[in-house]
């Protein structure tokens, strides 16, 4: 299917759905729908979603539980114009794309605080489970005025709520893939206990997941690495006196990826191996106090400790190293390798990497309500330190780096009239990796044209300061010895400006059963970070070309009746640098790589708890440019992809004593839409030539025990 045909089909589908809605308005004129959902991310204060001056997209746990989504990355597939992209066939490196920008420009938050460091964030969306997340809020556009660095493309906030009653859930899920007869097995639980006097509440949760590696080609090397993930966590809410809440959280995460070939052998013995193991401990403490009707505040502190062992190695390269270290000239021979396996393994062992990363975060916010104003102000401090070493190589020194950022913010939610609200805000940051003070303003406005039509617009800014971790530099360190990544003396922070404008309409005849939304975002990113790697021992982080990103999103949500609901979206994305960048021989482009111009999808849900629940979803990924830089190859026009999922679920109340049983089953990627032109040259392949949907067709079965 060519691009023009795809665009026309998507547009026709979207317009047809709109016509059907208005053709059937009279049928549902007497129905009502619950719209009193509260969101917090856009202004850091509680607002009804229908009244929030900052456009916020909300996804509740019940929205994705029936879809059998287990990780945050799967939930983000529901967000218009958002994408999840895999970047490495060996290690599983991945990224969330928001507003056409990759993951380093998105602030991933847990209850409003930074979720991971730069080190852990590389695999964060894949690691983090959805079992204990009550809702996910997404705000697009520069959010640095409230959340500091990284919030250039937007903010993804994972939110937990205090349980209202004692209950629990145990779940088992098995997913079987067509390729290699591999499986993904998952077991999880969550238990909430609420004191009878509502004095305190406790939540305990855990998950264990095991996925086999998959070779989507035929060369015996992985495209999807082996992945194991275990998580154990708890939250405590305590109310010592009225209007006071203290919340304490702890989470332990243990995960490992392994890709390449010969997975039954140690990484040192494989022809190609990438192995990563993370241990992450996170502690958090929050104090929220309602002092009076007009004044309340919150204080928060957290500590994250991340330990990572990593191996990126080629058997042939390690053999050559051992051969040279033994005093032999020229290229290594197969005969020498066969006679000196232990020396090769010893050389390989030296490239194991070990990173220790600690992140300290403190946040305060004070809110005053008076007349037509809600004024919020506060301070945030983040300190991150990282040590990176090759523990088995005494000749490779340990590197250490740190970054500290202090930010002060001020915001005023000003209700000028019942129909018009203005939200100015400003932030000042001092970052030890940037010479100057960083100034980040934002201005948002909401205007009700009618009772059914609302306009939101905003001008927002963002910034990204140099961090302590760079994945490309880390990989090269462990392969080739010590390489220093240093900042150019004239390095500036990345900065952005985003202009957003949107119209939301809720037809009066539908009583809120239909929500139509169309919005545009135009982002200018200045002084983009780039790496000059021309020197074999010192890499220089410098400012590269500027870029401009235009995004047009259209979405429709239609609660057809008490049982049927339709959500559909269509987005256009144009992401371009100010000048062309040379990618491979004879090919330069100013377009972002692996960023399709058109994306879209829909989900049709049928909910009838007395009988059965069902869903049908489609996710569309348009053509894009994919490059294999190491292999000097480019695909300028990748295929369009249509991922179709369908599933059924049935609840059996009181089947086991006082416990309910819920069964789920379905198919994912029904048409097996994925990349088919992998390089089939084994150890010499370019592992970054990986685009589009990564998981093959599969079917799943899950059982939940609710008590």
Q: Residue 537 burial (CB < 10 Å; 0-12/13-18/19+)?
A: exposed
CA angle 602, 139, 644 (to 5 degrees): 20
pLDDT at 134: 87
Which stretch of 266-280, 418-432, 530-544 has the lowest confidence by average pLDDT? 530-544
* Spatial separation of the C-alpha atoms in residues 684 and 221, rounded to whole Å: 11
CB 260 within 8 A of CB 223: no
Helix H segments across 487-566? none
Model confidence at 22, in pLDDT bands (50, 70, 90)?
very low
Q: What are the pLDDT digits (tens) for 341-388?
A: 999 999 999 989 898 989 999 999 999 999 999 999 999 999 999 888
Verdict on whether the full-model pTM lies above 0.95: no
- Note the pLDDT of residue 454: 96
Strand pairing report for 538-543 and 484-487: parallel
Give yes or no for residue 479 having a pLDDT over 50.
Answer: no
Assigned domain for 568 exists? no
* Across 2-6, 51-55, 215-219, least confident range: 2-6
Q: What is the pLDDT of residue 679?
A: 83
Region 221-236: mean pLDDT is 93
Mean pLDDT, range 23-44, rounded to an integer: 57
Give the separation between CA 524 and CA 107, rounded to whole angstroms. Answer: 18
Establish if 337 belongs to a structural domain: yes
pLDDT of residue 181: 80
Which pLDDT value is given to residue 397? 75
Cα of 111 vs its chain's centroid, Å: 15
Confidence of residue 489 (pLDDT cuts 50, 70, 90): confident
Confidence band for 76, pLDDT divided at 50, 70 and 90: confident
Q: Is residue 595 part of a domain?
A: yes
Is the distance from CB of 105 to CB of 156 less than 8 angstroms? no
pLDDT tens readout for residues 426-476: 999 999 888 889 999 999 999 999 989 999 999 999 888 876 555 544 444
Which band of pLDDT confidence, cut at 50, 70 and 90, is reported for residue 11? very low
Whether 201 maps to a domain, the answer reads yes
Q: Is residue 160 part of a domain?
A: yes
Mean pLDDT of 148-156: 86
Is residue 524 within 8 Å of residue 548, measured between CB atoms? Answer: yes
pLDDT at position 650 over 90: yes
Using alpha carbons, select from 575, 571, 626, 577 the residue that is nearest to residue 599.
571
Q: What are the backbone angles phi and psi of residue 513, rounded to the nearest 5°?
A: -75, -15
| Beta-ladder partners of 651 | 662
Lowest mean pLDDT among 121-130, 166-175, 595-604: 121-130
Q: Which domain holds residue 68?
A: 3-561+574-706
The β-bridge partners of 200 are 238
> What is the pLDDT confidence band of residue 84, given thresholds at 50, 70 and 90?
confident
**Inside any domain, residue 671:** yes
Confidence at residue 28, expressed as pLDDT on a 0 to 100 scale: 34
Query: What integer pLDDT is reported at residue 488 of this predicted model?
Result: 80
Query: Rounded to 5 degrees, what are φ and ψ at 316?
Result: -65, -40
CATH classification at residue 68: 2.40.170.20
pLDDT higher at 704 or 538? 704
Asked whether the beta carbons of 702 and 174 are under 8 A apart, the reply is yes
Mean pLDDT of 1-25: 42
Mean predicted lDDT score pLDDT of the chain: 86
Question: Is 375 within a domain?
Answer: yes
Residues 165-169, mean pLDDT to the nearest whole number: 94
Which one has a higher pLDDT value, 395 or 118? 395
662-679 tens-digit pLDDT: 999 999 999 999 999 988
- Report pLDDT digits (tens) over 575-590: 999 999 888 998 999 9
What does the pLDDT read at residue 228? 93
Q: Is pLDDT above 70 for 7?
A: no
Coil vs helix vs strand at 166:
coil
Which of 62 and 411 is assigned the larger pLDDT?
411
CA distance 61 to 67: 10
Per-residue model confidence (pLDDT) at position 491: 81
Q: CA-CA distance, 213 to 455, in Å (whole number)?
A: 48
Kindly state whether residue 569 falls inside one of the protein's structural domains.
no
Range 262-276 average pLDDT: 92
Number of domains in the chain: 1
pLDDT at 687: 87
Considering 24-33, 96-105, 489-498, 662-671, the range whose residues carry the highest mean pLDDT is 662-671
């Amino acid at each position: 299917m060519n691009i023009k045909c795809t665009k026309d089909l998507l547009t026709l589908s979207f317009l047809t759905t709109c016509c059907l809605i208005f053709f059937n308005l009279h049928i549902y004129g007497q129905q009502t729908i619950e719209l009193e959902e509260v969101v917090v991310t856009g202004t850091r204060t509680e607002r009804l979603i229908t009244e929030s001056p900052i456009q916020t997209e909300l996804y509740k746990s019940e929205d994705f539980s029936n879809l059998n989504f287990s990780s945050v990355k799967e939930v983000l597939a529901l967000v218009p114009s958002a994408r999840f992209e895999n970047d490495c066939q060996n290690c599983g490196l991945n990224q969330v794309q928001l507003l056409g920008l990759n993951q380093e420009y998105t602030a991933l938050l847990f209850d409003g605080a930074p979720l991971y460091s730069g080190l852990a964030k590389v695999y964060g969306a894949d690691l983090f489970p959805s079992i204990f997340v009550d809702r996910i809020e997404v705000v697009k556009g520069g959010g640095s005025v409230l959340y500091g660095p990284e919030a250039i493309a937007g903010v993804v906030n994972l939110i937990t709520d205090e349980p209202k009653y004692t209950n629990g859930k145990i779940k088992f899920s098995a997913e079987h893939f067509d390729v290699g007869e591999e499986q993904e097995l998952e077991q999880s639980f969550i238990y909430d206990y609420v004191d009878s006097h509502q004095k305190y509440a406790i939540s305990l949760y855990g998950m264990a997941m095991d996925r086999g590696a998959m070779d989507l080609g035929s060369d015996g090397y992985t495209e999807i690495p082996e992945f194991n993930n275990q998580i154990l966590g708890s939250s405590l809410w305590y109310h010592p006196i009225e209007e006071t809440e203290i919340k304490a959280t702890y989470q332990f995460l243990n995960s490992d990826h392994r890709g390449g070939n010969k997975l039954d052998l140690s990484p040192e013995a494989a022809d190609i191996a990438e192995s990563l193991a993370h241990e992450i401990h996170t502690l958090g403490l929050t104090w929220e106090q309602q002092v009076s009707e007009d004044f309340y505040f919150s204080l928060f502190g957290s500590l994250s400790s991340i330990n990572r062992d990593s191996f990126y190695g080629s058997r042939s390269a390690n053999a050559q190293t051992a051969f040279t270290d033994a005093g032999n000239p020229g290229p290594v021979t197969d005969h020498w390798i066969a006679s000196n396996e232990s020396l090769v393994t010893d050389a390989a062992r030296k490239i194991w990497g070990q990173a220790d990363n600690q992140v300290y975060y403190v946040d305060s916010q004070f809110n005053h309500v008076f007349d037509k104003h809600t004024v919020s102000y506060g301070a945030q401090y983040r300190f991150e330190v990282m040590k990176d070493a090759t523990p088995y190589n005494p000749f490779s020194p340990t590197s250490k780096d740190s970054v500290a950022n202090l930010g002060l913010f001020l915001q005023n939610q000003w209700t000028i009239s019942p129909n018009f609200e203005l939200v100015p805000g400003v932030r000042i940051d001092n970052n030890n990796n940037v010479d100057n003070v960083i100034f980040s303003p934002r201005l948002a406005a909401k205007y009700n044209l009618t009772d059914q039509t609302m306009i939101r617009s905003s001008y927002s800014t963002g910034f990204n300061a140099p961090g302590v971790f760079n994945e490309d530099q880390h990989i090269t360190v462990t392969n080739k010895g010590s390489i220093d990544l240093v900042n150019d003396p004239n390095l500036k922070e990345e900065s952005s400006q985003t202009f957003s404008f949107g119209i939301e309409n809720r037809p009066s005849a539908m009583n809120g059963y239909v929500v139509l939304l169309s919005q545009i975002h135009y982002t200018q990113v200045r002084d983009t970070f780039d790496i000059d790697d021309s020197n074999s021992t010192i890499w220089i982080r410098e400012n590269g070309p500027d870029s401009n990103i235009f995004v047009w999103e259209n979405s429709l949500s239609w609660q057809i009746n008490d049982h049927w609901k339709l959500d559909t979206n269509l987005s256009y994305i144009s992401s371009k640098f100010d000048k062309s960048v040379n990618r491979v021989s004879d090919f330069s482009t100013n377009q972002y790589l692996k960023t399709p111009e058109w994306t879209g999808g829909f989900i049709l849900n049928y909910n009838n708890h007395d009988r059965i629940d069902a869903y049908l979803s489609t996710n569309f990924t348009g053509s894009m440019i994919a490059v294999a830089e190491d292999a000097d190859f480019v695909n300028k026009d990748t295929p369009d992809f249509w991922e179709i999922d369908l599933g059924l679920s049935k609840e059996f109340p009181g089947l086991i004593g006082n416990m309910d049983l819920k069964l789920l089953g379905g198919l994912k990627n029904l048409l097996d839409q994925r990349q088919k032109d992998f390089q089939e040259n084994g150890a010499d392949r370019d592992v970054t030539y990986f685009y589009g949907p990564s998981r093959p067709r599969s079917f799943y079965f899950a059982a939940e025990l609710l008590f």
